[in-house]
Structure 1
Amino acid sequence: MTTPYSPETATALAIGATTAGYVEGSGPTWDDDIATYNLREADRRASILALYQRDAIAALHRALLPPTATVRVLCAGDSITLGTGSTDGAGYRPWLASLLVQRRINTQFTVIAQGGKTMREMTPAILAALPAACPDIVLIAFGTNDAAQPDLTDWAARCGQLVDQILASSPTVRVVVARPALSRAAWLTTGEAAVDAAVDTVVNARKTGGRAASADMTTVPQRWTGDGVHPLDAGYLLMAQRWTDAINPWLPTPA
């Protein structure tokens, strides 16, 4: 019988490894701990390679086709906006910057986010940051922590008020509100669906001005999370792509 081989596992070394990467012997037919380790190690190494390639490609673009414009982006949210679960701890931001530098656009980020917080709790900090940050675009991503709250009946009204206050802060600022990714936590499902519907209501009521849009993060597969809530690197890349789709009409044209 065979069990997955791991160099860090003394049991595997004691039995002996084959060139095929498996351990042959009379051990257990399957070891969940070793299998889990191997999967996590493969994911870790693949993520490191992906991040290296991302940064190398971005550096090459900057060298060959230097950016001709800069976009100031304020990222508002909770632990997902912070980047919890990503290899580099920065979440979607480096991926978004990499996508935009391919269009010869530099990105200057301001991050107003805190793990475990709801939109209600973070609204004062977001509004206070606007004068100094002077953002061209504000990306709002709340919903997971909000979904755990017992009453979401006024969520759309509060979100709409936040969007209106941001839009009123500058005649040129644009706002994107994310429809939050669906977690694997069954007890959050109802609340997340309510938040998604509220985002649609808020954005649809403000689309005519051309300064508000939504980004659908519900397309991030649930399996692309490490803990059922926070995305892995692939999930954050997909989030960056969704943000890019949403802000595309507002991006400057390279000179």
Structure 2
Amino acid sequence: MSSPLKVLSGVLAAVLLTAQPVSAAPNPGGTAAPLAAPVRVMPLGDSITQGGSSGGYRLDLGAKLRSAGRDVDFVGSAVDGPSSMPDRDHEGHPGWTIAQVDANVVNWLRTHAPRTILLHIGTNDMYGSDPAGAPRRLSALVDKITAQAPSADVFVSTIIPIRFADATVRGYNAAIVPLLRAKAAAGKRVHVVDAYPAVPVSDLPDGIHPNAAGYAKMAAVWYDALRSVPGSIGDQPQPGGTCTAAPRVTGSWGGGFQGEVTVANPTASAITGWTVRLALPNGHAVSQVWGGTASGTGTVTVTNAPYNGALGPGASATFGFIASGSGAAAVGTATCTGS
């Protein structure tokens, strides 16, 4: 006759042998697959970045990014916006000048480690004691940012209009664009964004700060710029595609500009050809292309030339174009599909 202790021991053994861990899942590699971290984006500037109680352009930009399925985290030491706004962090400081941001930016970058930076600064310098020196101060600020965060994409915008200082604003914007493009040409990850023409004075109730419509227009400009730079918001190759396209403006003049698009194959498999769809805002049309064959206006479709369609893993190719039109030089969204 078995003792009660032996019976109990047998029951426990049976339970242990048949129990299954409820959280286990097939994992051939033996370790859990890490989740990708959100892309850290720092909205940086003055009150136009802060946006008051409305959340400024950050409200609409965040909504656009979420709708597009982008996993983005706004970062910064300040928190503002409506309580219903899912992500309220930023680095916008009302009344601040370029010099004030410059004095604090290294600490912010160390603390928050942004992958992408959206910089709109200079408005308060326009009616300060030295507006003529503002482009030089901005140049120094951008150099400090790129030195501290060389792997970050830094999007620097022209400032939006000021009703009572339009000539000063135009002069500042005209001066900073070539300075910024020179930095990009030197290999720094600096991108020019042109917000000035997007926000009319009629959208500035006090002559300086946008209303909701104006902020929505700023958000659209930022969104198009972010989408044009692969990786800045966690871009992945388009569904069904196997390549990426990164456009940039390489030169401009009255009535047109020159651009270049880098097509890359980030996959482990070779592709034999590619097709890029490139948006050209501000009414431009492609008048000449090299390194590909173009068709369409507004959104242009470019297919590879016979000599640059085959791209091995990690390889890239470029094509160039000239666009004609009276609007400001700009390129918008670019997508790529490989074959």
Q: Normalised by the size of structure 2, how large is the TM-score?
A: 0.51
| Greater mean deviation of Cα atoms: 167-176 or 150-159 | 150-159
The residue type paired with residue 83 of structure 1 is: G
Shift in Å, 1:196: 0.6
Shift in Å, 1:210: 5.9
| Greater mean deviation of Cα atoms: 68-77 or 124-133 | 68-77
Q: Say if 1:139 and 1:177, in contact at 8 Å, map to a contact too.
A: yes
Look up the match of 1:189: 166
1:105 corresponds to 2:70: yes
Between structures 1 and 2, the one with greater helix share: 1
Shift in Å, 1:154: 2.9
Going from structure 1 to structure 2, the CA distance change for 1:233 and 1:164 (only over 3 Å counts) comes to: same
Q: Which runs of 4+ in 1 moved over 4 A?
A: none
Shift in Å, 1:221: 1.2
Alignment equivalent of 1:71, drawn from 29, 32, 39: 39
Question: Percent identity over the alignment?
Answer: 30
Q: Distance in 2 between the 1:151 and 1:123 partners?
A: 16
Q: Distance in 2 between the 1:210 and 1:129 partners?
A: 20
Highest relative contact order (Cα 8 Å, sep 6+), 1 or 2?
Answer: 1
Between structures 1 and 2, the one with greater strand share: 2
- List runs of 5+ in structure 2 lacking aligned partners: 1-34, 77-89, 238-339
Deviations 1:123-164 (A, max 9, x none): 112221001110011111112211112323332222112112
Q: Say if 1:68 and 1:105, in contact at 8 Å, map to a contact too.
A: no
Look up the match of 2:191: 213
Q: Say if 1:156 and 1:201, in contact at 8 Å, map to a contact too.
A: no
Q: Distance in 2 between the 1:134 and 1:117 partners?
A: 22
Greater gyration radius: 2
Alignment equivalent of 1:143, drawn from 113, 117, 122: 122
Going from structure 1 to structure 2, the CA distance change for 1:178 and 1:142 (only over 3 Å counts) comes to: same
Q: Say if 1:177 and 1:199, in contact at 8 Å, map to a contact too.
A: no
Shift in Å, 1:116: 1.5
Q: Distance in 2 between the 1:222 and 1:95 partners?
A: 20
1:90 corresponds to 2:55: yes
The residue type paired with residue 206 of structure 1 is: K
Alignment equivalent of 1:171, drawn from 150, 155, 166: 150
Q: CA RMSD for the aligned pairs?
A: 2.1
Deviations 1:76-114 (A, max 9, x none): 211111103xxx421011211111112211221222222
1:157 corresponds to 2:136: yes
Look up the match of 1:12: none
Q: Distance in 1 between the 2:152 and 2:236 partners?
A: 19
Look up the match of 1:36: none
Q: Normalised by the size of structure 1, how large is the TM-score?
A: 0.66
